[in-house]
Amino acid sequence: MKDENKPFNDAIDHFNEIEGNAGNSSNAKINKLPKPLKYFGYFMIGFISLSILLMIIVNLLN
């Protein structure tokens, strides 16, 4: 199991150390974001989804 998090070459290891990238998505703590930031993200995803849906409906009615 330990080999899953091991980078496959030195360049990727260096990049992960410098940039602070998570090795895999299980390391990312998305649920630990502040509530206003989470709600803003939910609002943006909902707004974009609703806008796309409304544009499709308006185009079908024309």
d(CA 31, CA 3): 26
Question: pTM to 2 decimals?
Answer: 0.50
Where exactly are the structural domains of the chain? 2-61
Number of neighbouring beta carbons within 10 Å of residue 51: 10
Could you list the pLDDT tens digit for every one of the 62 residues in the chain?
455 667 677 887 777 778 766 655 555 566 777 889 888 989 999 999 999 999 999 999 98
